[in-house]
Amino acid sequence: MPGFQCATCGRQHDHLPRDIAYRRPDAYFDVPAEERERRIEANDDCCMIDGQLFMIRGILYVPIDDGEHFGWGVWATVSEDDYCGYLDAWGNDEEDETPPFVGKIANEIVPYPGSRGLDVTVKMQSGGERPRFTVISDSHPLGLDQRHGVSAERAHDLVADFQ
């Protein structure tokens, strides 16, 4: 039976993962390793490079026809104003009052070539959950999969690139 060892809890699970997460945005790795400490402020939720590039981490869900969903833990580049508004809302438990805003996917999602730079709507979530990203494009395969869902077989194939 397929399975995986969880990087978070360390346990072996007897099913395929239904989430793949990118720990940092691609731009983080564009900065030479010896310069990162000086140029980047980052944690598991936010990343700022050179005080000019602002990114937040969220989840982009793709429904699966078995009633489940596949989650892509990716980053989105947002404006400085939206970044500051995100930090304020998050710090003051005002996520529900924050209107959605637009960002751009900041990771190249391997099974979806051309995904880095796709426009997304960012909707903050209450309860300490990461924001939800919705692809705006109605023609890119990632946007189509998010709107129409994928088969369980396709969800399995999404994971195969990461095994």
Model confidence over 86-127: pLDDT tens digits?
999 988 988 988 999 999 999 999 899 999 999 999 999 988
Is residue 5 in some structural domain?
A: no
Is residue 11 in some structural domain?
A: no
Q: What is the mean pLDDT of residues 77-90?
A: 96
Q: Is residue 9 pLDDT above 60, yes or no?
A: no
Residue 104, number of CB atoms within 10 A of its CB: 15
Q: Give the model confidence (pLDDT) of 27-74 as tens digits.
A: 999 999 999 999 999 999 999 999 999 999 999 999 999 888 999 999
> For the chain, what percent of residues have pLDDT higher than 90?
70
Is residue 1 in some structural domain?
A: no
Residue 54: Cβ-neighbour burial (10 angstroms; 0-12, 13-18, 19+): buried
Is residue 95 in some structural domain?
A: yes
Characterize the bridge pairing of strands 19-21 and 69-78.
Answer: parallel
Residue 117 pLDDT = 97
- One DSSP character per residue, 78-116 reads E-HHHHHHHHHHHHTT-GGGSPPEEEEE-S--TTSTT-T
Is residue 4 in some structural domain?
A: no
Q: Is residue 140 pLDDT above 90, yes or no?
A: yes
Instruction: Give how many domains the chain has, as a whole number.
Output: 1
Contact of 70 with 62, CB cutoff 8 Å:
yes
Residue 156 pLDDT = 81
Least confident of 86-90, 126-130, 157-161: 157-161
Question: pLDDT-derived band of residue 6, with 50, 70 and 90 as boundaries?
Answer: very low
Amino acid identity, residue 77?
Answer: T
Question: pLDDT-derived band of residue 13, with 50, 70 and 90 as boundaries?
Answer: very low
Direct distance between the N- and C-terminal alpha carbons of the chain, in angstroms, rounded to an integer: 14
Residue 136 CA to residue 151 CA, distance in Å, equals 22
Contacts of 67 by beta carbon, 8 Å cutoff, 6+ apart: none
User: Whole domain around residue 144: which residue ranges?
Assistant: 19-160
Return the closest-CA partner of residue 158 out of 138, 135, 137, 142: 142
